[in-house]
Structure 1
Amino acid sequence: MSGSQDDIPTPPTPPPSQTPTQQQTPHTVSTIKLPILKKGEYDIWAMKMEHYLAHTDYPIWEVIQNGNGPVSITTDTQGQIKVLPPRTAEEILARERERKARTTLLMALPKDHLAKFHKMTDAKEMWEAIKSRFGGNDESKKMQKYILKQQFEGFSVSNSEGLHKGYDRFQSLLS
């Protein structure tokens, strides 16, 4: 080793098309499990989703909460509306975030509800639709509580039913 400056490796420079501020950040993998929506547990699921998305990819949560901004559209010669492809890096990133937000929400839904929400193209709209479908309003929640209370107060197990079947019915009432 001669100890000259030629022996020290120089760090790679970004290509001219990408400045350091334009480089994408590396993707991180989270070990937190995606919460899956279960019947009657919308409020808990919504809190878990907010924390999950805020922890794993906050810009995705922002897309769900605030929307993703306008999409460029045009009309063709037959009057059909066409979505224009993204032109700038910001538009590409916005479309990628929207797609990622939609995919994450779809992955958190039960299989039997996927078809209802799959065709929605906006993650914010999808979040609101999930909320209205599963969250219910205050009046419906009061009615559900009343019905559960009545079922609980009237619960009994007959000798002909058996302990195992009675236990299963009680478990389903509790859940």
Structure 2
Amino acid sequence: MATEETSSSIPPSLPITSSGYMEGHASNRPPYFNGLDYGYWKKRMAFYLKFVDFEIWELVQDGYIEPSTDRKEWSAVDKIKATLDAKGVTLIFCALSLEEFNKVSTCKAAREVWTTLETTHEGTTQVKKSKVNMLISDFEAFEMHEGESISNMFTRFTNIVNELNALGKTYKL
């Protein structure tokens, strides 16, 4: 007699998305973002977009401006760029929870979606500078806590370095 697979057979440590599927590290779907751990998602999503098509990533980084001419007059290159930007928007939208999607649903280009998410979760340039300064202070004053294992200490240290990296300030380990 075959047993039916239920959600109770899924270990509790694995996150479940609103669709009921476990969020995984599969190359055929983008990393899921529910509003938590933006720096982690941003890094994974950037690599996912590069993996799918590096030109999509370039449009996310550089932006896409739709030609001002009638669409019937667009060149083949214009159509390819429009398609790549639409793919970028779609890939990012597919990675978002409903709550996160609602924050960017009116965006028209992949770059606009990306920068809206950045501003929402990292803050403005001034907020980023404040976060960087606070993390630099944590970095410079870093020390092992009493009774802390080396593994836990290294994890705390790596988290500080990774958060700084996500905000554009890099340190080599």
The one of 66, 85, 96 equivalent to 2:71 is: 85
TM-score by length of 2: 0.53
Partner of 2:92: 105
The one of 119, 126, 142 equivalent to 1:132 is: 119
Structure 2: give runs of 5+ residues left out of the alignment. Answer: 1-25, 135-173
Q: Does 1:38 align with 2:30?
A: no
Q: What is the CA–CA distance in structure 2 between the aligned matches of 1:33 and 1:102, rounded to whole Å?
A: 14
Cα separation, partners in 2 of 1:138 and 1:37, compared to 1, 3 Å: farther
- Cα root mean square deviation, aligned: 2.5
Rg comparison, structure with higher value? 1
Identity in percent:
22
Cα separation, partners in 2 of 1:114 and 1:120, compared to 1, 3 Å: same
Q: Does 1:65 align with 2:52?
A: no
How many residue pairs were aligned?
A: 105
Q: What is the CA–CA distance in structure 2 between the aligned matches of 1:68 and 1:39, rounded to whole Å?
A: 25
TM-score by length of 1: 0.52
Question: Deviations for 1:93-124, whole angstroms, at most 9, x for unmatched residues?
Answer: 01101111111111111112222311111211
Q: What is the CA–CA distance in structure 2 between the aligned matches of 1:93 and 1:109, rounded to whole Å?
A: 25
Shift of 1:32: 4.3
Q: What is the CA–CA distance in structure 2 between the aligned matches of 1:112 and 1:39, rounded to whole Å?
A: 8
Shift of 1:70: 4.5
Q: Does 1:118 align with 2:114?
A: no
Q: What is the CA–CA distance in structure 1 between the aligned matches of 2:57 and 2:68, rounded to whole Å?
A: 22
- Contact 1:40/1:134 (<8 A) preserved: no
Question: Deviations for 1:8-30, whole angstroms, at most 9, x for unmatched residues?
Answer: xxxxxxxxxxxxxxxxxxxxxx8
Question: Deviations for 1:55-89, whole angstroms, at most 9, x for unmatched residues?
Answer: 1211111110011245215xxxxxxxxxx315210
Structure 1: give runs of 5+ residues left out of the alignment. Answer: 1-29, 74-83, 143-175
- Contact 1:101/1:123 (<8 A) preserved: yes
Determine which structure has the larger helix proportion and give its number.
2
Cα separation, partners in 2 of 1:70 and 1:33, compared to 1, 3 Å: closer
